Structure 1
Amino acid sequence: MHVSEKQQHIPVLVAGAGLAGLAGGLFLAWHGVPALVVERHRGMSPHPRARGINPRAMELMRSVGLEEEIRATGSARALAGNTGVLAAQSLAGRQLGALHEQYFMDVRTDLGAWSPTGWCLCHQDEFEPVIRRRAEELGTRFAYFTELESFEQTADGVTARLRDRETGAVRTVTADYLVAADGPASPVRQALGIGVEGPGTTGHFLNIHFEADLAEELGERRFIMCYTFNDAVRGALMPLDNARRWLLHVTFDPSAEDAAAYDEERCRELVRAAAGVPDLDVKVLGSIPWEAAGRTATAFSSGRVFLVGDAAHVMPPSGAFGSNTGVQDVHNLAWKLAAVLGGQAGPGLLDSYDAERRPVCAATVEQAVLRSKDRPRLAHQEPAPANPAIHPDTEVWFGWQYRSSAVVPGPGDTPADGVWNADPRGLPGTRAPHVEFVRDGRPVSSLDLFGRAPVLLAGAGAEPWARAAGSTARRAGVGLEVVRVGSTVADPAGAWAPAYGVGDEGAVLVRPDGVVAWRSPAGHPDPEAVLDGLLTALLAR
């Protein structure tokens, strides 16, 4: 996977340097895959768009050593104590309600039973530079103000034409694979002829980034979001630093007027209406129109091209699933590309990307749309019950289940109906459960054991599985780490076996992305034969 400037060849070309594209560059480099990320804009957006990194995405950031740096950003520190979603006539006006639903897990919810980490309210304009710096440290290259003009693919690779938007110069590069992170309109997706499906547009909004002194109106409250409902504005206020910086989302109808009609003075008036302060001194820093929609691509791959992030799916912001789902897309894809490019897996492994991510993403889009439709209930004093089709946040974060060739269920592994599983307990295709082990005298999460290579977790009485794993991996030329519970790590609470659905002589194979690939509740007369067949199936060899 050597990168040659002279030959202009790169193993993976990533189109788009939004959050999904940046994370793709990071995870690919983490797995040792050289990548070039091209972005048509001059640089990263200074506008603070998405700002909620959900617990699953934080687990992935933790796996590449970025959790502490992200939590040390200015916005993450400033908003560490914020909690709750409110509804009010205005910031200074009467409160109408608050989001208190069983499906809603507030950022202050104790997730210790599920995860070693939790929410982080870091603005995207601070989150993205952290990812980019780490990706560059690991070897990913970035080319801004560079547009993917066209591409062609054959059975052997992808040829792309890249145009420097400053000079107009065009260069041709070849790549083994192309990852399209080029946004909701995705020229790559359109060029492939891949359609979208789903409920479509759910609303149009304008993000207004502004500065104003709202300390008196805010008082001691430290919320995540406050929906405002009055005659002058229907929107949502979000504090960016609990001091002077804010975002206001307002609805508008593009069929009646263009976003350009919202000049600075009109934006100031909308801010004053949402704040409930008619003479508020407001400095508008910028505004961006955007569409809330629920759409999923009808295919996430075509040949050597893969769709990720908004190119593959868009969803309303309710639940903060959108950009976090894109991060999970590239995390799922990166280890598979690395395994194929490194010769450890056959190209058939890449078929599992669409098989796994598309159903989960479509179901996540549905959950975001349902939450979006549920939010107006906050304005009512006695709201009706929430839609029972809404699954709890913890299920959406942690309770999905994959079905693909990269998952090998056993005879007793009965999957749940559909995508969501409220109590997966180590079923193949689900996220490996969090268990607190002790290693070298220090607590360590089971999730911290996964990252670059497959891991075989073996019980204290599972010596045959551990021995077989070593010999099978050497024979197959596959990197496979063995973790013995009881020797490599201690399990003082005795939690790992029930959490993973195995006994003392059982074993569990966990993929590099932290997904359970296979498990055996007990021993087997011929563990080498089992593991030989397992690796052959898992890696499409």
Structure 2
Amino acid sequence: MHPTAQPTVIVVGAGPAGLTTAIALSRHGVRTLVVERRTALSPFPRATGINLRTMELMRAWGLEAAIRSGAIDVKPTAWVGRTLASPEGAEAPMGFPSAEVAASISPTTGAIAPQDHLEPVLMQHLLSLPGTSVRLGAEVIALDQDRDAVTVTLREGDETSTVRAAYVIGADGAHSTVRRQAGIAMQGPGELGAYLAVLFRAPLADIVGERRHGLYLLMRQGPPWVFLPTDRHDRWVFSMTWDPTRETRADYPPERLVELIRAGAGVPDLETEIVWTGDFAFTAQIADRYRERRVFLIGDAAHRMTPRGATGMNTAIHDGYDLGWKLGWVLSGWADESLLDSFEAERRPVGLRNMQRSANGSEQRDVSLDYLDDIADRIPHRWLADGRTSTLDLLGDGLTMLAGPGAHVSPAPSHAVPITQQRVDRATAEALGIGADGVVLVRADGRPVARWVASADTTSVSLAVEAAVRGTTDAGLPQAA
């Protein structure tokens, strides 16, 4: 699709981060153009772990069922053993809560679904929203900023063109052109190891039997081998370390790869079809900054992580959601531009933490409680009396005021940002930490802005709203409660 009007925002990159950002912007009516140098979405599974917080965001957009339709029937845990066929081994965490724990803290659960299923779901949803255009096969070759806008030069085949927009978002991956054009450097340990990857088909579900997990770590002499299921049938990824300074891809012809896969499976005559081979490096870096005037970075353009802890794609999606709603507020006239300063202030520490964790060379780092970090800043989930509606389901695109049954709430003052008032039952109010007579004001992403013990008068609400549109949450705002 090509734009019918000049876009307000250009998103460079149609991976999970870029698509998430574009959806969040389009929900606010922002004219958005997504440009992607590839001529089609990636046909490779890439990341498969969609964590709890990401699924909460997808649920809010009505996409949970569509994503689960391509999920793999496995436990979101790893299996550590000698071969896939060997019954000896142990289960290890992948950073997902158990189903029982998830049920107590969230209205949803994480999922194991390949990225080549997730991306089409996001793209289809994006194209159903008004004001959004997508140009595949369009590569950014230059950016030029002035005080009022950014001019983007695109190359499509043998032709070049320019598009002007108020903001540009770089979601164009680890080798980001947007980041380079914006003059933003990366810092961190850099490359931490080289790996060979093989996408193949084989009837391994019959081999693992009931030991169905999201990842299999095979302990051998030297670095472990990894097997990753990537669909509901027989498509898998096998990866192992290699030394590209002493080896070439020619050293790994299909017949040798088949033998390696059979050795890892523990089945000497396993019927195996090699689909694709490639190589990649474990890399850990983060951008010096996430913004250069009217240009923002998200996802792998802002932070490069190793697969350890399965945080890369999820961190990218959370970046995109955060920037999308904040930029949407600003462009809708709900908030001042100062709100955009909170994007880097809130997201870069998360990117740095997750990058440093992924760089941890110990394969034994305990990731079992990592999911708590993703939900630590939002209000707690509790089911309302109907048993179907979560406290998280009450949140709108603007601000939401949740009040206990005995709270006095003045009529919402007139503000550019809409304020939705919701009254909750006593048990839910207690779970929210406000008590039966209390009130809490919450941002679109679930972060509390302010709390009151008994009444929320017009003046105090106005002060809280002013703080919210500047990006201040109750971490830095004196509490009325």
Verify the 8 A CA contact 2:286 2:352 in the aligned structure 1.
Answer: yes
Matches for 1:210-225 after TM superposition, within 5 Å: 210-225=200-215
The aligned runs of 1:441-480 (5 Å cut-off) are: 441=386, 443-463=388-408, 466-468=409-411, 470=412, 472=413, 474=414, 476-480=415-419
Bigger shift: residues 220-229 or 326-335: 220-229
Q: In the TM superposition, what are the counterparts of 1:186-197 in structure 2 within 5 Å?
A: 186-197=176-187
CA drift at 1:136: 0.3
Q: Quote the residue 2:85 is aligned against.
A: 92
Cα offsets for 1:42-64 (capped at 9, x unmatched): 11111111111101000000011
> 1:159 offset after TM fit, Å?
0.7
Q: Work out whether residues 77 and 96 of structure 2, in 8 Å CA contact, stay in contact via their aligned partners in 1.
A: no
Q: Which amino acid aligns with 1:160?
A: V
Specify the code of the residue in structure 2 equivalent to 1:352.
S
Kindly indicate whether residue 80 of structure 2 is the aligned counterpart of residue 80 of structure 1. no
For 1:505-524, what aligned pairs fall within 5 Å after superposition? 505-523=437-455
Matched residue type, 2:388 = P
1:60 matches 2:82: no
1:510 & 1:368 partners in 2: Cα distance?
Answer: 31
Distance 2:349 2:369 in 1: 18
Q: What residue number does 1:536 align with?
A: 466
Cα offset, 1:156, TM superposition: 0.8
Aligned to 2:475: none
The answer to whether structure 1 residue 393 and structure 2 residue 370 are counterparts is yes
Residue identity in the other structure for 1:398: I
Once residues 87 and 147 of structure 1 are traced to their aligned partners in structure 2, the CA distance between those partners, rounded to angstroms, is 42
Looking at structure 2, the residues matched to 107 and 503 of structure 1 have their Cα atoms a distance apart, in angstroms, of 29
The match for 2:104 is 113
State whether structure 2 residue 271 is matched by structure 1 residue 281. Answer: yes
Task: From the superposition, tell whether residues 460 and 233 of structure 1 become closer, same or farther in structure 2 (CA, over 3 Å).
Answer: closer
Looking at structure 1, the residues matched to 222 and 421 of structure 2 have their Cα atoms a distance apart, in angstroms, of 62
Q: 1:495 to 1:299 in 2, by over 3 A?
A: farther
What is the total number of aligned residue pairs between the two structures?
469
Measured at CA, do residues 109 and 505 of structure 1 come closer, stay the same or move farther in structure 2, by a change above 3 Å? closer
Q: Is the 8 A contact 1:83 1:108 kept in 2?
A: no
Q: Where does structure 1 lack aligned partners over 5 or more consecutive residues?
A: 378-385, 400-429, 486-490
The aligned counterpart of 2:115 is 124
CA change 1:241–1:179 in 2 (3 A) is closer
Structure 2 gap ranges (5+): 472-481
Which amino acid counterpart does residue 536 of structure 1 have in structure 2? Answer: E
Tell me, yes or no, if the aligned pair for 2:403 and 2:422 is still in contact at 8 Å.
yes
Distance 2:445 2:205 in 1: 44
Provide the aligned C-alpha RMSD in A.
Answer: 2.3
Query: TM-score, structure 2 length as denominator?
Result: 0.91
Matched, 1:343 2:340: no
Instruction: Look up the SS of the partner of 1:22 in the other structure.
Output: helix
Distance 2:250 2:172 in 1: 24
Residue of 482, 488, 491 corresponding to 2:421: 482
What is residue 479 of structure 2 aligned with on the other side? none
Residue 405 of structure 1 corresponds to which residue in structure 2?
none
Deviations 1:208-227 (CA, angstroms, capped at 9, x unpaired) = 11011235432332122111
- Which range moved further: 529-538 or 156-165? 529-538
| 8 Å CA contact 2:76, 2:111 repeated in 1 | no
CA distance in 2, matches of 1:104, 1:234: 19
Identical-residue share of aligned pairs (%): 37
Shift of 1:41: 0.9
1:31 maps to: 28
Q: Is the 8 A contact 1:232 1:273 kept in 2?
A: no
Cα distance, 1:128 vs structure 2: 0.6
Measured at CA, do residues 276 and 237 of structure 1 come closer, stay the same or move farther in structure 2, by a change above 3 Å? same
Aligned-residue offset at 1:284? 0.7
- 147, 151, 154: which one pairs with 1:155? 147
What is the DSSP-based 3-state SS (H/G/I as helix, E as strand, rest coil) of the residue aligned with 1:111?
Answer: helix
TM-score (norm 1): 0.81
Q: In structure 2, do the counterparts of structure 1 residues 442 and 500 end up closer, same or farther at CA, with 3 Å as the change threshold?
A: closer
Alpha-carbon contact 1:39-1:146 (below 8 Å) kept: yes
Give the Cα separation in 2 of the matches to 1:482 and 1:215.
50
- Code of the residue aligned with 1:447 in structure 2: it is L
Deviation of 1:147 (Å): 0.3
Q: 1:190-269 maps to which residues of 2 (within 5 A)? A: 190-231=180-221, 234-241=224-231, 243-259=233-249, 261-269=251-259
Structure 1 ranges of 4+ moved more than 6 A: none
